[in-house]
Structure 1
Amino acid sequence: MYVIGMEEDATAVKIGFATDVDDRRSMLQTSSHRTLKVLAFIKGTPAKEKELHRKFAADHIRGEWFRKTQAPARRAHASPELHHRRDRAPRRQPS
């Protein structure tokens, strides 16, 4: 699972699931005029992704995009399983 956002605009993030986070970011980049980066990643499942979508429903914009407000950002950063992006996400998530 991943949290992807725009480098120049910290107001929206995409919460999604992919087996290769960097490939997913590259695919999304082709349709975005702003530079996207992986902000964080977490080992997860499609069910966990849906759980996070429900958790942040009040900040839902469209599809898998959510407003990056202070409250959800603090809750996400407090998660012990969240890995904040430093260099690269793992190439593939183990099953």
Structure 2
Amino acid sequence: MAVYFIGEEESGCCRIKIGVAKDIEKRRSNLQTGSPSELRLLGWIHTEAAFELERRLHQQFSAAHVRGEWFAIEPADILPILRRATSEGFVARNANAFQIVGYDRDAVPEYLGVWEWGDLEIDECCPFCGCLCGMAFQDASQMYHCIRCDALTDFSELSHRHNESEG
């Protein structure tokens, strides 16, 4: 089971639903049917204690309660929760994850980021599976490795993919 965070943006106000589901995308789709606003999956946490975690999060955000399981909170409020979950926490990946948007003064590429609602460092989140386990740098291969999905990358193929889609 997973505790999910689904966001609804409506006239400058952000509401986030904190719920539990086995199939998160099916749940988002069912919620979308009854909502005039676009609903977007922000992140989720896989846990055996999903209902307990959901209850604790509802209590934590009780001052911002709107209705049902909806809270007037920002995605930035849930990012620390997802980070604390480490390898069980995931963010819904930005479609342009790790697009190079510039270079710093040492010619090191700066990336758009894997999560569009907050800054994550390159080694915090896997751009392939969204896991917040951290991308471990391997000296031998000079590449980053995700312990969750086993991806091995130096992120250059993501830049090539982006360049191909523009051209």
TM-score w.r.t. length of structure 2: 0.46
Task: List gaps (5 residues or longer) in structure 1.
Answer: 90-95
Deviation readout 1:4-41 (Å, 9 max, x if unpaired): 01255551110000011000000001000111110111
Q: Which of the pair has more CA radius of gyration?
A: 2
Aligned with residue 80 of structure 2, among 78, 83, 86: 78
Once the two structures are TM-superposed, the CA of residue 69 in structure 1 deviates from its matched residue by: 4.5
1 CA distance for matches of 2:72 and 2:91? 18
* Aligned residue number for residue 58 of structure 1: 63
TM-score w.r.t. length of structure 1: 0.77
Aligned length: 86
Aligned-residue CA RMSD in angstroms?
2.4
CA contact (8 A) 2:8 2:16 kept: yes
SS of aligned partner of 1:11: strand
2 CA distance for matches of 1:68 and 1:18? 20
1 CA distance for matches of 2:23 and 2:13? 23
Tell me the percent identity: 37
1:3 alignment partner AA: F
Q: Does 1:31 align with 2:34?
A: yes
**Which protein, 1 or 2, shows the higher relative CO under an 8 Å CA cutoff with sep ≥ 6?**
1
4+ residue runs over 4 A deviation: 7-10
Answer 1 or 2: which has greater strand percent.
2
